[in-house]
Amino acid sequence: MADADLVELAKRRGFFFGSNGAYGGTAGFYTFGPQGAALKRNVEDAWRDRFTLQEGNREIEAPTVMPEAVFEASGHLDTFDDMLVECAECGSSHRADHLVEAVTDIEDAEALPGEEVEELIADNDIACPTCGAELAGLDVEDFNLMFATDIGPGDGQPGYLRPETAQGIFVEFPRLKEYARGNLPFGITQIGPAYRNEISPRGGLLRLREFTQAELEQFIDPEADEPPLDRVRDVDVRLYPATEQQAEDGDYLDTTIGEAVEEGVIGSPWVGYYLGVAQEWYERIGVDTNRFRFRQHLAGERAHYAADCWDAESEVDGDWIEIAGFAYRGDYDLSKHDAYGDDSFTVFKRYDEPKTVERATVDPDMSVLGPEFGGDAAAVAEALETLAGRDPDAFEGDTVTVEVDGSGGDDAREVAVDAEVANFSVETVTENGEHITPHVVEPSFGVGRTVQTLLAHAYETDEVDGEERTYLSLAPEVAPRDAAVFPLVTNDDRLVALADRVAADLRAAGLAVAHDDSGSIGRRYRRQDEVGTPFCVTVDRDGIEGDGPETVTVRERDSAAQIRVPVDDLAEELAGLRAGGSFDDLLDRYETVETDVETE
């Protein structure tokens, strides 16, 4: 399938389209139409079911606007930049690293210093893609990708639209750990908008300025907690390890999660566990496993805090796109907020048995230190205390030497203190536990990219009754609608009334139902095929005439096979199919209908 076909179908049938078309469009922003919003929501619900409910995790919902202090701590304020070059002629903005990559062999120009990129632009005579003017000699600037705003008037504070939902979780860790009653491991999830003010947004649902993330932050004690790896040990996965990517004849590694973790291909068992859960989940919602892989980040690609990182990638229109990331983030996030914030981002880890430990301490005689060091006396006492913890042996001689910053901005200097004045001693104390900073394992999913993958992998064409058709073979669990209901003809009030009643009954049973009475049945089937509706229910005369119970025909989308089902059983059967039941079972249990009804 060509990408253009899918984009056209997405727009025509209400999956997604560029926003604000009446005002010339706004690059990087897409609106999900009725079909797309339903598909996206079903993907989110399926994710919630698997990654929150089934795992016993907790989901929160934090604001999208956050104050600057959060991003000072997280590092986004300083480092969440792309390389920007603005054309002096036409004023258009471009990713400088992408321009360089397009005309050189360099694969990761973002890793180069700005000056080097400026030189490469000059050396390669790179021109503005918009107007063709020379870009040589222009500055390459760091452009921060966060959308900035002001919270409150006048005395307000700078704020930013969050670049990832994760920060809304990390920043509330002091409270979230209370809800877990201080026990590790626990997982917090969030599904919601995130924002990146991209310099050059791409088309479709790739690289949007506003997008939806589904993130899980798994907080663990790295020394004690292990994932329930048995649950996914036998899950088959296609891995693309860093070593294979760098090898000349590198290839995929088709293996199981259990083997990959045992052999160290996947470094962290927690990352391995979530790769397995994700593999099963992607299969469940309809990703084509032949167009799917887990690719390990190369060393240079990883954020500096990420010990091991894998991306889930899907093939869409010939390109591999990242649709999720699985990172072992260590204690980076919580340590930063612990250092910058006013609250504690640690948990108290109780020992199995209380430990008796020796602790060196001092109790300096201030009546001596005061007269001797004046304004520096307190600093000297503190330095002694620090030294006692670090090097108790230092107190064995007659005098102890410590370094203090002088008061009033004087330079640091060494001072000698009489050992007796320090009052050094070693106490025996009983400790019940210690404060530890949990580590974080983060599966992070792009919802829009998942939606785009599902559409691309579900897009099919075939021939039915001699006519070519396009259909989306979406899994019933995620299809925008569960069923469509048609009266075969609209000039028979009995059919119209029954179709209305059937649609209302299905809706009351919680199913998302379309009702369509416009055009031939064949056209109505095609319309539903194009939006991936798995089952079409047609109310015809055969179903209401005769002595038996009222019946309707149910047509399965992919096979175009039809069966006749009593109206009273319909809601339950469709609910069963939505929950993963097989249409083949119904083919066995109900009368099959010849498909020439289509041409009526």
What is the maximal distance between C-alpha atoms in the chain?
112
Say how far apart CA 574 and CA 580 lie, in whole Å: 10
Residue 10: Cβ-neighbour burial (10 angstroms; 0-12, 13-18, 19+): buried
x-or-dash pattern for a copy of itself, window 70-109, by CB under 8 A? x-------------x-x----xxx----------------
Is residue 204 at the binding interface for a copy of itself, with CB under 8 A as the rule?
Answer: no
Report the site for a copy of itself in 205-244 (rule: CB under 8 A).
209-210
Helix 3-12 to helix 447-458 angle, to the nearest 10 degrees? Answer: 110
Pairing assessment for the beta strands 562-566 and 591-593 based on DSSP bridges: antiparallel
- Residue 241 DSSP SS3: coil
Is residue 17 at the binding interface for a copy of itself, with CB under 8 A as the rule?
Answer: yes
Which of 24, 371, 409, 466 is close enough to bind a copy of itself by CB under 8 A?
A: 24
- Min CB(79)–a copy of itself separation in Å: 17
Report the site for a copy of itself in 314-373 (rule: CB under 8 A).
337, 340-343, 345
Which of 54, 246, 425, 520 is close enough to bind a copy of itself by CB under 8 A?
A: 54
Measured from the Cβ of residue 555, the count of other Cβ atoms closer than 10 Å reads 27
Burial per residue of 426-456, b for 16 or more beta-carbon CB atoms within 10 angstroms, e otherwise: eeeeeeeeeebbbbbbbbbbbbbbbbbbbbb
| Contact (Cβ atoms closer than 8 angstroms) between residue 384 and residue 369 | no
Is residue 300 at the binding interface for a copy of itself, with CB under 8 A as the rule?
Answer: no
Q: Looking at beta carbons only, is 357 or 508 nearer to a copy of itself?
A: 508
Say how far apart CA 552 and CA 555 lie, in whole Å: 10
Which of 1, 27, 122, 136 is close enough to bind a copy of itself by CB under 8 A?
A: 27
Which of 7, 14, 313, 383 is close enough to bind a copy of itself by CB under 8 A?
A: 14
What region does 317 belong to: left with phi over 0, alpha with psi -120 to 50, or beta? left
Cα-based distances in Å from 244 to 160, 295, 298, 431, 522: 39, 10, 10, 48, 50
Is residue 31 at the binding interface for a copy of itself, with CB under 8 A as the rule?
Answer: yes
**48: closest CA among 170, 194, 187?**
187
x-or-dash pattern for a copy of itself, window 237-276, by CB under 8 A? ----------------------------------------
- Region near a copy of itself per CB under 8 A, out of 33-41, 277-285, 362-370, 434-442: 33-41
- Min CB(97)–a copy of itself separation in Å: 14
Which of 2, 5, 63, 303 is close enough to bind a copy of itself by CB under 8 A?
A: 63
- Region near a copy of itself per CB under 8 A, out of 29-37, 347-355, 414-422, 537-545: 29-37
Say how far apart CA 479 and CA 42 lie, in whole Å: 7
- Region near a copy of itself per CB under 8 A, out of 55-63, 105-113, 280-288, 410-418: 55-63
- Min CB(32)–a copy of itself separation in Å: 4
Number of residues that bind a copy of itself (CB under 8 A): 88
Helix 96-103 to helix 114-123 angle, to the nearest 10 degrees? Answer: 50
- Min CB(439)–a copy of itself separation in Å: 19
Report the site for a copy of itself in 141-200 (rule: CB under 8 A).
143, 147-157, 159, 161, 168, 171-172, 174-176, 179, 181, 188, 193, 195, 197-199
Residue 558: Cβ-neighbour burial (10 angstroms; 0-12, 13-18, 19+): middle
Q: Looking at beta carbons only, is 191 or 567 nearer to a copy of itself?
A: 191
x-or-dash pattern for a copy of itself, window 502-541, by CB under 8 A? -x---xx-x-xx-x--x-----------------------
| Contact (Cβ atoms closer than 8 angstroms) between residue 170 and residue 337 | yes
Q: Looking at beta carbons only, is 338 or 573 nearer to a copy of itself?
A: 338
- Min CB(80)–a copy of itself separation in Å: 14
